[in-house]
Amino acid sequence: MAIPQWHDLTQEEQQAIAELYTGFTSLLTARMAERLKALGLAEQKVGGTAGGTGLTEQGRKLFESR
């Protein structure tokens, strides 16, 4: 699966990526975390936030280039 572009994401997906990027993940649901993982934008991290979910390198680059 190709990594999506920022404009391809829903507003909710964009918000979730922004929250992961800034570390404000209190509203990140398990469903959204799994969705971002399926898109290749998030991954399971040891010691991370939101149940160990963090952005992949692709997820960080996508947010920074939006």
Return the structure tokens found at 29. Answer: 């649901």
* Beta-strand runs (E) in 1-66: 42-49, 53-55
Find where tokens 């404000």 sit: 24
pLDDT in tens, 20-43: 999 887 788 999 999 999 999 999
pLDDT in tens, 37-64: 999 999 988 765 556 889 999 999 999 9
Instruction: Return the pLDDT at 48.
Output: 52
User: Domain residue spans in the chain?
Assistant: 10-64
pLDDT above 80 for 19? yes
